[in-house]
Amino acid sequence: MNTSADELEQIARRASDAAPAWAAISPSVRAAALVAAAEALEEAGPRLVAIGMDETGLSQARLTGELKRTAVQLRLFAEVVLDGAYLDVRIDEADSDFALGVRPDLRRYQIPVGPVVNFAASNFPFAFSVAGGDTASALAAGNPVIVKAHSGHPSLSAHTAKVVAGALEAAGAPLGTLQLISGQEAGVAMLKHPLVAAGSFTGSIRVGRMLADIAAARSAPIPFYGELGSVNPAFVTQAALVEQAAAIADGFVTSVSASAGQFCTKPGFLFVPVGHGMGERLAAKAVAVDEHRMLNPGIATGFRDRRSAILNTPGIIILAEGMLRFDDFGQGWATPTIVSISVADLLAQRETLTDEAFGPLSIVVEYNPDDDLAAVADQLFEGSLTGTVHMGSGEDTARLRSLIQWLTQHAGRVLFGGWPTGVAVSPAMQHGGPWPSTTNDTSTSVGTAAIARFLRPVSYQGAPQELLPEPLRDDNPWAVPQHRNLAGDSLTWGDFARPVDVHP
Amino acid sequence: MNTSADELEQIARRASDAAPAWAAISPSVRAAALVAAAEALEEAGPRLVAIGMDETGLSQARLTGELKRTAVQLRLFAEVVLDGAYLDVRIDEADSDFALGVRPDLRRYQIPVGPVVNFAASNFPFAFSVAGGDTASALAAGNPVIVKAHSGHPSLSAHTAKVVAGALEAAGAPLGTLQLISGQEAGVAMLKHPLVAAGSFTGSIRVGRMLADIAAARSAPIPFYGELGSVNPAFVTQAALVEQAAAIADGFVTSVSASAGQFCTKPGFLFVPVGHGMGERLAAKAVAVDEHRMLNPGIATGFRDRRSAILNTPGIIILAEGMLRFDDFGQGWATPTIVSISVADLLAQRETLTDEAFGPLSIVVEYNPDDDLAAVADQLFEGSLTGTVHMGSGEDTARLRSLIQWLTQHAGRVLFGGWPTGVAVSPAMQHGGPWPSTTNDTSTSVGTAAIARFLRPVSYQGAPQELLPEPLRDDNPWAVPQHRNLAGDSLTWGDFARPVDVHP
């Protein structure tokens, strides 16, 4: 089951051998290979979904939707490859009038970093696993990918890797463009391998931190992008409560309980004004949720312990107790647990309560009209992937602006209404916030901007046209966007009179 | 002299307090503040240059030029701020036809990370110190900066900080936008401070690695950008030798000996064909160089040891012995040392010879016509800031292409002719290559692209216009470039027939 040391060596070498060819391949071929992978996934869909249901306990509807998302993601990155803007081509024309003296001809773009090891997630067996977002973005950037399969869905991982690697190679990708390894030790060994140039990960704070430390401690350190734990606080203003208490209560429970709450974007805290009157509706909605299997016995055990600690914390009031039971196979089955607490008690118990509870549990926090929510949040939380505010239509107060400012400083995505568990795969998505929600908040793991993680810049100075890579050439054979900085530009610096600041 | 713990706490807090205001300031005010800093530097120029000459031993011409570069750098970043493209504004229109179902209105841009601690360099008392590139890019991005002064030029650092901080504040920047600290312990303490959000450094591999490890080991890790050691190999083909041996010999010695070779981009190795016949010219040119004071006694002592180890390595042939003497103040004075060695002997002695020698010393490596230079280089070197190739006009061989490919993989900037010690400050410059030339090769520390290091992305989902930050609003009051992704775009995906690949 675990990949042996010999196999790891062969896999690393194969990835390294594949790297130059995959990096140099034309955009149309690389894009077509990504589309071929998407088509192959879709074709194998029903078979893969059945394996996934068995291994993860996730529903057919959920997995079918996730597979579609995974295929669309590959198609979206094909568009990114064809577009070419991600190469960030900058051409400085030679300039004898440059402010600092003669400037040479300089041409800079982004090149692939080299083989990437991607640690797959338990909770997204398609979208954050073998052919998921990290794989798609690394492949699109021109890097071979080695996926460390998650132990929670080994058969699905093997089948997916076969389907996708086969499709890539049939479409012209070199052998070794996508490979699979298994076992925690194997993953660690690969992250340490000198031929590996970057790492990505989706999972717990504990494991993510361990891997980030390993990447940083290498004799040659490499970039490591870990997406870890997040509590995703949501805040409801008095005005929002007046306008739409019922919709908020219903949406909240749905967001907390979908897929047994096993989302990194699950709202872990909902701040509502005291006297909100939502208790009964929250309870009724929660009780109506069918029990859902948890992903694996380890996650279920972790949830059992976390839930129990929360239920036994002073100040906690149970709105919907929910339950967790284990079946004969050791699998956990859960219904949602919703509790409430006052701001004062939460502050007093923050050591116990503010860590993520991975599963269908959330804490409703009752605040007083004069509480400064930004100040309260600042005492409670580190970084999150998301932060949400529900406000009244047209509401705009200093307190609200201060809360939005706090959310901006502590999250990667700030939602105005809605719930964070839907994550659009699009150019403007940001999935990644301050520690501990990620190990590195300067990038995203969802959306097309993710491609930037697996690139590094290089400049060519004074190169003859025929020795330049295609994207940097004047005849621009790949038709990529080129930003030219013209000779003489610096002569117009300091022309600050233009009206760029009409609302100072 | 060393900043005390109490002072550090006040400085960190002042930077943190300044952060929101400096981040929110309009582009025209931020740009004007950078220009004001440039003007103040220029005005104080003669006084600062005199202090710098005394503290560093660098010449008036060199320091005057460096001060100009530093001021121009600030003006260049003012242009970057006004332009606004660095914000990478992406607006996804809400899209009910999106390939994955309804897409919300999403708006993403780059925000400042927060207070940056910048460790100044010894060898660039202006351009990589208090008001240097790292400071300019971090300020331009909207971050307060805390500079850890280099111990080699304390008075210059204090005077520069006073001039620049004063100019910034007079132009509207909040108190604490630029602050100075002193002492290695103080620097380490600041890098560990919870209110510090990123670090930058220019200096030795040993210290840079220590600081990178500290940044990575924080309870909340932060990005750290270290620019460390580099050997900058240069390669001369037979054809280049035939065409311009004399110019290459002269340019090489000039590049090796300028400012006593104390540049991170100094060419440490020059590969030339055996029988090159350049020995006498190299020697004559080197002997003609006046002695130059080294930056400080520590660097001079390090150079003495390194030079001595190289001179005593088997296979080394002395072309120009040069010298190093110490004056009554303990300062070292040097003239250039040029030695040669065969490829075979260099390979045999690589443990001793391939580390950087910081000072006016370089190794001429004589290769045979059948040597594969890419293969040789691969056995000798890790990453460098630069790699240079001198070739004949129109030369284009498989071996040459393979060398260029190797250089691209092992350097941040590849030069075709010329010498790496000139570093243009421009949009297409890349100053940063694979380890150990930097701790993180996905960014640059010279040129306008450096601004990307001190930013992180955030998305707003479904926000009302009046609560959006200026760059994301439809009325775009700051007139920044906005990339809009239109509703319905995904309906045209897969239209792969367009002729993007005319040279496959």
What class does CATH assign to A5-228+443-455?
A: alpha beta
Three-class SS state of A304: helix
How far apart CA B309 and CA A212 sit, in angstroms, is 37
A250 burial type by CB count under 10 A (0-12 exposed, 13-18 middle, 19+ buried): middle
Which residues of chain A neighbour B88 with C-beta distances below 8 Å? 449
Do A382 and B483 count as a contact with CB atoms less than 8 A apart? no
Model ipTM value = 0.95
Q: Indicate if the pLDDT at residue A497 is higher than 60.
A: no
Condensed to tens digits (0 to 9), the pLDDT of residues B324-343 reads 999 999 999 999 999 999 99
Do A458 and B408 count as a contact with CB atoms less than 8 A apart? yes
Q: Where are the alpha helices (DSSP H) in B44-153?
A: 45-56, 60-83, 133-141
How far apart CA A386 and CA B410 sit, in angstroms, is 38
**How many Cβ atoms from other residues are within 10 Å of residue B209's Cβ?**
18
Tokens standing for residue A370 = 């004069």
Can you tell me which residue has the tokens 């991607």? Answer: A118
Q: Indicate if the pLDDT at residue B494 is higher than 80.
A: no
Q: Are A234 and A270 in contact (CB under 8 A)?
A: yes
How far apart CA B455 and CA A309 sit, in angstroms, is 38
Distances (CA, A) of B158 to B46, B52, B57, B128: 16, 11, 18, 15
Task: Please name the member of A223, A422, A494 whose beta carbon is closest to the beta carbon of B35.
Answer: A494
Condensed to tens digits (0 to 9), the pLDDT of residues A90-128 reads 999 999 888 888 899 999 999 999 999 999 999 999 999
Q: HEC profile for B232-281?
A: CEEEECHHHHHHHHHHHHHHHHHHHHHHHHCCCCCCCEEEEECCCCCHHH
What is the CATH number assigned to the segment(s) B233-416? 3.40.309.10
Half-sphere exposure of A339 (CA within 13 A, CB side): 26
Tokens standing for residue B344 = 């075979």
Q: Are B128 and B120 in contact (CB under 8 A)?
A: yes
Q: Indicate if the pLDDT at residue A495 is higher than 80.
A: no
Which residues lie closer than 8 Å to B5 by C-beta, 6 or more apart? B189
Q: Where are the alpha helices (DSSP H) in A84-194?
A: 133-141, 154-170, 184-192
pLDDT band of residue B55 (cuts 50, 70, 90) is: very high
Q: Are B332 and B300 in contact (CB under 8 A)?
A: yes
Q: Which residue is closest to B211 within chain A, CA to CA? A: A216
Q: Are A501 and B25 in contact (CB under 8 A)?
A: no
B238-246, long-range: CB < 8 A, 24+ apart = B238/B273, B238/B369, B238/B392, B239/B391, B239/B392, B239/B393, B239/B395, B240/B390, B240/B391, B240/B392, B240/B395, B241/B272, B241/B273, B241/B276, B241/B278, B242/B392, B243/B392, B243/B393, B244/B390, B245/B276, B245/B277, B245/B278, B245/B281, B246/B281
Q: Average pLDDT in the B362-378 region? A: 97
Q: Which amino acid is at A386?
A: T
**How many Cβ atoms from other residues are within 10 Å of residue B42's Cβ?**
16
Q: Which residue is closest to B400 within chain A, CA to CA? A: A467
B39 is catalytic: no
Q: Is the dihedral of CA A56, A62, A68, A74 positive or negative?
A: negative
> What's the pLDDT at A494?
60
In a mutational test of the B interface, the residue from A459, A470, A484 whose CB has the highest number of chain B CBs within 10 Å is: A459
Cross-strand bridge partners of residue B337: B361
> What's the pLDDT at A496?
43
Q: Indicate if the pLDDT at residue B496 is higher than 70.
A: no
Q: Residue B333: phi, psi to the nearest 5?
A: -125, 135
**In percent, how much of chain A has pLDDT > 70?**
97
Q: Average pLDDT in the A203-217 region? A: 97
Q: Is the overall model pTM greater than 0.90, yes or no?
A: yes
How far apart CA A470 and CA A360 sit, in angstroms, is 51
Do A82 and B500 count as a contact with CB atoms less than 8 A apart? yes
Q: HEC profile for B364-399?
A: EEEECCCCCHHHHHHHHCCCEEEEEEECCCCCCCHH
Q: Are B467 and B455 in contact (CB under 8 A)?
A: no
Q: Are A145 and A116 in contact (CB under 8 A)?
A: yes
How far apart CA A131 and CA A164 sit, in angstroms, is 7
Size of interface A-B (CB pairs under 8 A): 276
Closest CA to A115 of A137, A134, A132, A138: A138
Rounded to the nearest angstrom, the minimum Cα separation between A443 and chain B is 7
Which residues of chain B neighbour A434 with C-beta distances below 8 Å? 220
Q: Average pLDDT in the A398-410 region? A: 97
**How many Cβ atoms from other residues are within 10 Å of residue B351's Cβ?**
8
Q: Which residue is closest to B461 within chain A, CA to CA? A: A415
Q: Which residues of B358-377 are buried (b: 16+ CB within 10 A; e: fewer)?
A: bbbbbbbbbbeeebebbebb
How far apart CA A372 and CA A381 sit, in angstroms, is 15
Q: Which residue is closest to A450 within chain B, CA to CA? A: B457
Q: Which residue is closest to B423 within chain A, CA to CA? A: A103
Rounded to the nearest angstrom, the minimum Cα separation between A424 and chain B is 6
Closest CA to A272 of A231, A300, A244: A244
Distances (CA, A) of B84 to A208, A339, B81, B477, B481: 34, 46, 5, 12, 6
How far apart CA A232 and CA A419 sit, in angstroms, is 10
Q: Indicate if the pLDDT at residue B497 is higher than 60.
A: no
Cross-strand bridge partners of residue B386: B413
Looking at chain A, how many residues does it have? 504
**In percent, how much of chain A has pLDDT > 90?**
94
Q: Are A119 and A211 in contact (CB under 8 A)?
A: yes
Condensed to tens digits (0 to 9), the pLDDT of residues A373-399 reads 999 999 999 999 999 999 999 999 999
> What's the pLDDT at B495?
53
Task: Please name the member of B84, B427, B479 whose beta carbon is closest to the beta carbon of A485.
Answer: B427
Q: Are A168 and A41 in contact (CB under 8 A)?
A: no
CA A110 to chain centre: 22
Which of B55, B66, B227, B366 is flagged as catalytic?
B227
Rounded to the nearest angstrom, the minimum Cα separation between A323 and chain B is 33
Query: Average per-residue pLDDT in chain B?
Result: 95
Task: Please name the member of B444, B493, B504 whose beta carbon is closest to the beta carbon of A457.
Answer: B444
Q: Average pLDDT in the B302-307 region? A: 97
Q: Where are the beta strands (DSSP E) in A276-430?
A: 292-293, 317-320, 323-326, 332-335, 337-342, 361-367, 384-390, 411-416
Q: Indicate if the pLDDT at residue B451 is higher than 50.
A: yes
Q: Average pLDDT in the B123-135 region? A: 96
Which residues of chain B neighbour A426 with C-beta distances below 8 Å? 92, 98, 103, 106, 485
How far apart CA A135 and CA A116 sit, in angstroms, is 8
DSSP state of A422: -
Domain ranges of chain B: 5-228+443-455, 233-416
Condensed to tens digits (0 to 9), the pLDDT of residues A255-311 reads 999 999 999 999 999 999 999 999 999 999 999 999 999 999 999 999 999 999 999
pLDDT band of residue B490 (cuts 50, 70, 90) is: confident
Angle between helices B184-192 and B205-217 (to 10 degrees): 30
> What's the pLDDT at A502?
29
**In percent, how much of chain B has pLDDT > 90?**
94
Q: Are B200 and B118 in contact (CB under 8 A)?
A: yes
How far apart CA A128 and CA A125 sit, in angstroms, is 6
End-to-end CA distance of chain A: give it in Å, rounded: 62
Query: CA gyration radius for chain B?
Result: 25
> What's the pLDDT at A498?
34
Q: Average pLDDT in the B18-35 region? A: 97
Q: Indicate if the pLDDT at residue B370 is higher than 50.
A: yes
In a mutational test of the B interface, the residue from A42, A501, A502, A503 whose CB has the highest number of chain B CBs within 10 Å is: A501
Q: HEC profile for B137-150?
A: HHHHHCCCEEEECC
Q: Are A155 and A24 in contact (CB under 8 A)?
A: no
CA angle A104, A109, A114 (to 5 degrees): 130
DSSP notation for B182-218: -SHHHHHHHHH-TT--EEEEES-HHHHHHHHHHHHHS
Rounded to the nearest angstrom, the minimum Cα separation between A474 and chain B is 14
End-to-end CA distance of chain B: give it in Å, rounded: 62
Q: Indicate if the pLDDT at residue B499 is higher than 60.
A: no
In a mutational test of the B interface, the residue from A76, A111, A196, A442 whose CB has the highest number of chain B CBs within 10 Å is: A442
> What's the pLDDT at A488?
85
> What's the pLDDT at B488?
85
Closest CA to B361 of B326, B394, B405, B320: B320
- Tell me if A5-228+443-455 shares its fold with A233-416: no
| A116-119 β-sheet, strand order | A178-181, A145-148, A116-119, A198-202, A224-227
Q: Average pLDDT in the B459-477 region? A: 98
Q: Are B186 and B3 in contact (CB under 8 A)?
A: yes
Condensed to tens digits (0 to 9), the pLDDT of residues A329-379 reads 999 999 999 999 999 999 999 999 999 999 999 999 999 999 999 999 999
Rounded to the nearest angstrom, the minimum Cα separation between B355 and chain A is 15
